[in-house]
Amino acid sequence: MEGPQAVLLQGNEAVARGALYAGMSFFAGYPITPSTEIAELLSGLLPEEGGVFIQMEDEIASLGACLGASLAGAKAMTATSGPGFSLMQELIGFGSGAEIPVVIVDVMRLGPSTGVPTSPSQGDVMQARWGTHGDHPIIALTADSVAECFEMTVRAFNFSELYRVPVILLIDEIIGHLREKVTLPAAGELAVKNRAAPEMPPEWYEPYAGASNGVPPMSALGGGYRHNVTGLLHDKMGLPTSDPEVIRASTDRLFDKMRRGFGDICLTEEYLCDDAETILISYGSPARSAREAVDALRAEGMKAGLLKLKTLWPFPRAALERFAGKAQRMVVCEMNRGQVYRETLRVGRGRWEVGKVLAPYGELFTPEKIARAVRGGGK
């Protein structure tokens, strides 16, 4: 891709093209509605660009192959939906503990279980944060347009490489299948980041010793550096340990490297929030309806605004706390039974009234539904 391109794209297609822009060279996946178009498009495009595409036997093997490819130095991605995302949880924990960069795209559909494959949902928000076991940091991003699908896929790769963590991109079925005209960025227009490589002699290399930013440089397997990889809790050399002090230090570093990056990672957008007394909080396709609802409420004289979340985890607490003492009410609009709503209650600690407008059963989120609920109290 040499210059800007105006094209008609589907959200899932934008994810695939964003991954190529970010330098992805390995994809392994198993087809599942409503994410299949990502794998379908990459099965043709990725080999043409010299990368490797593999259709695996299931979602567990897909993520396992991606983690292995990443350890060998590749930028790797898989894509799935609810049931497949559930199968991947153990390996998401492995990737977190072993600090393996990888991008996992979950195009959310109505669940639980096989649910309704073609209906939209945002029911996997808490699973992205807490689906795997043990204390671990995670990054989860989202998008509300085709253009953002492209942009946030590039960001997902950048965060994964910079912080050595699995990054989850959560988009809902409506955005995944939405078609819009977008202008794709020219090569070099968006920043593309790569993992830091070790610069010391191999005999000095400690694969899990944090650098000044808490993120260890990462050698590719076979690159001349000894790199032991295990899911067991380990020391700086990657060797298993049960020493509580060593475990404390390594676990603290996992969280600390993320904490240092909160300012970069926690992405939000504000719309008419400066004087807002009521702020709608939304993400994904409901954010598009929430923005129109804000316009309708403003036309009626209500001081309403929208805080759009582009990062879901770490939860962008600071973006909400900016309105403490200013906004009187937060109203969360989402397609589940209140997963971000409860997080907003937790962060608010009674400093603002919290309402909700929910669409948890696969129905479309209309601006009229949101505006009507806000006028009525949004509860």
Round to whole Å and give the CA distance between 377 and 379.
6
Cα(first)–Cα(last) distance of the chain, in Å?
Answer: 47
Please report the pLDDT score of residue 170 as a whole number. Answer: 98
Entry pTM: 0.96
Cβ 298 vs Cβ 304: under 8 Å: yes
Please report the pLDDT score of residue 210 as a whole number. Answer: 77
Please report the pLDDT score of residue 227 as a whole number. Answer: 87
Cβ 197 vs Cβ 306: under 8 Å: no
Poorest-pLDDT segment among 43-47, 167-171, 349-353: 349-353
- Note the pLDDT tens digit of each residue in 39-63: 999 999 999 999 999 999 999 999 9
- Note the pLDDT tens digit of each residue in 271-330: 999 999 999 999 999 999 999 999 999 999 999 999 999 999 999 999 999 998 999 999
Query: What proportion of the chain, given as a percentage, has pLDDT over 90?
Result: 95
Q: Which of 274, 314, 270, 275 is nearest to 290 (CA)?
A: 270
Number of helical (H) and strand (E) elements in the chain, helices listed first: 14, 15
Round to whole Å and give the CA distance between 63 and 190.
27
Angle at 120 between CA 309 and CA 289, to 5 degrees: 50
Contacts of residue 193, defined as CB under 8 A and 6 or more positions apart, other chains included, come to 157, 158, 161, 162
Please report the pLDDT score of residue 4 as a whole number. Answer: 72
The pLDDT confidence band at residue 217, using thresholds 50, 70 and 90, is: very high
Residue 163 has pLDDT above 90, yes or no: yes
Helix (H, G, I), strand (E, B) or coil at 185: coil
Residue count (the chain) = 379
> Mean pLDDT, the chain, as a whole number?
96
Contacts of residue 204, defined as CB under 8 A and 6 or more positions apart, other chains included, come to none
Residue 378 has pLDDT above 60, yes or no: no
Average pLDDT over residues 91-119: 96
Round to whole Å and give the CA distance between 120 and 285.
9
Please report the pLDDT score of residue 376 as a whole number. Answer: 85
Please report the pLDDT score of residue 379 as a whole number. Answer: 53
Cβ 320 vs Cβ 346: under 8 Å: no
Contacts of residue 34, defined as CB under 8 A and 6 or more positions apart, other chains included, come to 12, 81, 107, 109, 117, 118, 173, 176, 177
The pLDDT confidence band at residue 111, using thresholds 50, 70 and 90, is: very high
Poorest-pLDDT segment among 1-15, 185-199, 219-233, 298-312: 1-15
Q: Is the peptide bond before 34 cis (omega within 30 degrees of 0)?
A: yes
The pLDDT confidence band at residue 115, using thresholds 50, 70 and 90, is: very high
Please report the pLDDT score of residue 2 as a whole number. Answer: 59
CA distances from 129 to 289, 314, 315 (A): 25, 8, 10
In the numeric block, the tokens 């937790």 are attached to 346
Token output for 206:
């400690």
Cβ 159 vs Cβ 265: under 8 Å: yes
Query: What proportion of the chain, given as a percentage, has pLDDT over 70?
Result: 98
Residue 1 has pLDDT above 90, yes or no: no
Average pLDDT over residues 68-91: 98
